[in-house]
Amino acid sequence: MVQGVAFTGMASGIDTDEITEQLIEIERSTIRRLELQQENYRSEKEVWQNINKSLTDFDSSISSLRRNTTFTSRTARSSDESVITATAGSRAARRSYDIEVEQLARAHRVAGENLQELGLDLDLEEGETLNIETELGLSGTFELNEQEFTLEEDMSLDDIRNLINDFSEESQVEAEIMNETLILNHNKSGAGNEITFQDNDGVLQDLGILQEDNGDLVFQHELRESRNSIFYVDGLRMEKSINEGIDDVLENITLNLTGISEETVTLNVENDSERTIDAIKAFVESYNKLIADLREHMGEGEMMQGDTTIRRLNNSTRRMLTNTVFLDADEFSFRNLSEIGIEIDADGLSSGFTGEMELNEELLTDAIAEDPEGVRALFNARESEEGTEGVARRASDSIQSYIRYNGILDSRERSLASRVDRIDRRIEVEENRIERRETRIRSNFTRMEMALNQMQAQQSWLSGQIQQLNSIRGYRDR
């Protein structure tokens, strides 16, 4: 409402404010129609955004079916995972292996003397007890695996442990403290990976790690010798310096030794059918969600009822999925999704609109076991290799025409956004026009009130003059 000085009915007695508001309300009917139209455009844009998301999710589920690894992945199953586990690459041969583990690889591990038994000459204050944070008063240098370390007198057992660990990458030795005892571990397992030393100033002897034996320095407490793992694959003896990540025994298979076997363990390498089934189940679920969303927006009384774009999308997607894939029958077993347990519209719909996809997991499992390569080709065949496009490839290509940048849905969304912006500008123009219209109406009413007020004043003056003349005439008549 325009603000300013107003003379509401001062002279006329008419509520000009109410009349003005009623007139402006009539004028604003154009804006209300524009706002309703704009809200419809926004709602339609939101519908297309939801459809775009459902389509994108469906395309994502299809993408896994366009990768050969989804169908050619191998899994290695151990009959006793407490002895051995394994992972298999997609090129691993499908077969079984008999494995026995005789011993596991170990890393070299040595220990010093307990701190309380080192017999160090320390000047402890009264009430002070010897612990791993007490300064040991040791100084000098020593080497572990040719890495030199220097001790200062103010270092404690805890400081020595930290010093060694600060250079563990260089020395391949890690230190720990157990029961106030310094323990050294080689980072690598396997025979030959032993901790070597040089005790230049006798520091390692002071710590009880080394002792003299017939004039030679040796480890005082060798907790564990380094050794290789020994195992047999189909009777063939293997010896490795590690237990995990053994990838040079069986081609495209990585072995992990976890324990000693008491009997032969069987390792079966086979197709990873679970991965394939999970990918196909995700594909079916995503398709059904897409169809549910389309049916919701196309329902009776809904905004998109009868929309040709949605019907074309639904029909083209269904056609890409149900049409026969003309693969070489001599090489591949399947040409239709129904042959591997996937049906669309199995029960039909009274509306004639496409129904959901149904998956018979038992049939799918049998199909994968019978011809895994045939299942792969049904979804992921390439024109350049198999002479035709698989279901996943042609469906994805069709969907991309809708969801890609500048695609069908993107163009619809941007067109609707443009319409919303244009209506915004039209509403702004209408607001300005109505504001000017209100100003003119109020100005006209104000001028009317002022004119009436002036006329009333003149009338009052004339009445006074006439009354005065009548008074003079009466006086003369007497």
Per-residue pLDDT of the chain (478 residues; tens, 9 = 90+): 444 455 465 556 677 788 888 888 888 888 888 888 888 888 888 888 888 888 888 898 999 999 888 988 899 999 999 999 999 998 899 899 999 999 999 999 999 999 999 988 888 877 788 999 999 999 999 999 999 999 999 999 999 999 999 999 999 999 999 999 999 999 999 999 999 999 999 999 999 999 999 889 999 999 999 999 999 999 999 999 999 999 999 999 999 999 999 999 999 999 888 999 999 999 999 999 888 888 777 666 566 676 778 788 878 888 888 899 999 988 999 999 999 999 887 444 345 545 788 999 999 999 998 898 999 999 999 999 989 999 999 988 888 888 878 878 777 888 878 888 888 888 888 888 888 888 888 888 788 878 887 887 788 888 877 887 877 776 666 5
> How far, CA to CA in Å, does 372 sit from each of 74, 234, 328, 334?
11, 27, 15, 10
Q: What is the torsional sign of CA 372, 375, 379, 384?
A: positive
> How far, CA to CA in Å, does 315 sit from each of 99, 311, 323, 332, 353?
54, 6, 12, 27, 9
Rounded Cα–Cα distance for residues 269 and 477 (Å): 141
Whether the Cβ atoms of residue 128 and residue 113 lie closer than 8 Å to each other:
no
Ordered by start, the domain boundaries in the chain are 16-31+419-477, 52-70+274-404, 74-105+228-271, 107-224
Tokens matching residue 324: 């026969």
Q: Which CATH code of 3.30.365, 3.40.630, 2.40.128, 3.30.70 fits the domain covering 107-224?
A: 3.30.70
How many residues belong to the chain? 478
Tokens matching residue 302: 């809904």
Backbone φ and ψ of 435, nearest 5°: -60, -45
Tokens matching residue 52: 């775009």
Rounded Cα–Cα distance for residues 279 and 293 (Å): 21
